[in-house]
Amino acid sequence: MNCKQLNSIGLEEVLVFLGHLPTRQNEKEAWYLSPFGPESNASFKVDRPKNLWYLFSQGTGGTTTDFIQKYFNISVKGALEWASKQNFSSFHQQAKPLKSHPNYHIDRIMDIAHPNLISYLYERGLSGKVYPFIKELWFTIENKQLYAVGFKNNSEGWELRNAFYKGALHKKDITVLSFPKETESVSNNKTQKNTTNQKIAVFEGFTDALSFIEMQKSFEGDLLVLNSTAMLQKALALLDSYFEISLFLDNDPAGRECARKILKAYPHAKDFSHVYSDHKDLNEYLIAKKKHHSHVTINTPTTTTAKNEHIEKQNECREETNRIKKRVRRRM
């Protein structure tokens, strides 16, 4: 993918993928609350025919490439790499005119039950231990019903994942929750700091937070999930009241930049990305760790047993051969 191809991707599709919905729209333009920070009046405009954006509150704008760079605070190369990993329909169907914002609605919210989602979580190294922190969401987009693992944020929005889909519904925001899980439902993710917790662990995405939960045995404190690096400024304000801050951000330019800014604001914070330095993020590290553990605990004993059985059979053969030889000598 190059910049020309990236700029052909519809801005509206990128925005809905990131969980941003227009406040008003017509055939020529769509208006949004700023995707880069909180505001009360929509000042972010998308020019539909030209596929360009302009943020009046900051006096800046540009192409799809420019938007992704600013949203994730990454380079052009980083923007191209990020977009190439997504499955934007407007890139694969460039001859089609830009569509208006698709209609969507949430149909059901329930505990994790679908076998495909359980399998997806298992492939990500996640067990039933993390189920209290997530939900199974059934939702409809453009008359297509989908289901995904849902992770709720502090503004009642949802991060959504399954084996073939990555997206968000409603407003984008951070998520703050307690670990071990408190007695209330996951739908009551805290919007305010629990003053009884002095520790907090910070993650970029919710699969990393779930990986942390999967691996932890003794941590008690809050978990903060950015859900987007664009939420960093909001997170920085919340971190002020914590005495112990642990960072588990991605090992990529955006993640390292987030860690740098947090460490600059809070020098007592500790960056633990070195623990999984050979992997992109904490979830990738967990997957690799579980695969290695599986090899050691399952394959090795099986191999050892097979070898022992083979040795026993060899010994039995030798003993039987010796008995036959002794009988032959006696007859001679």
Same domain assignment for residues 51 and 178: no
Distance CA 291, CA 207 (A): 17
Domain count within the chain: 2
Residue that finishes a domain, picked among 72, 92, 112: 92
Residue 258 falls inside a structural domain: yes
pTM of this structure: 0.58
pLDDT digits (tens, 9 = 90+) for 113-161: 999 999 999 999 999 999 999 999 998 876 778 899 999 999 888 999 9
Same domain assignment for residues 109 and 83: no
Residue 66 falls inside a structural domain: yes
pLDDT digits (tens, 9 = 90+) for 79-118: 998 888 876 754 544 433 334 345 678 899 999 999 999 9
Same domain assignment for residues 56 and 143: no
| Segments forming the whole domain that contains residue 124 | 104-283
Same domain assignment for residues 132 and 226: yes
* 270 class by beta-carbon count within 10 Å (0-12 exposed, 13-18 middle, 19+ buried): exposed
Distance CA 204, CA 181 (A): 20
Residue 272 · residue 215 · CB < 8 Å:
no
**199 to each of 73, 218, 268, how far by Cα in Å?**
27, 12, 12
Residue 289 falls inside a structural domain: no
Same domain assignment for residues 72 and 117: no
Distance CA 22, CA 6 (A): 22
Same domain assignment for residues 86 and 108: no
CB atoms within 10 A of CB 263: 15
Please, which pLDDT band fits residue 195 given cuts at 50, 70 and 90?
A: very low
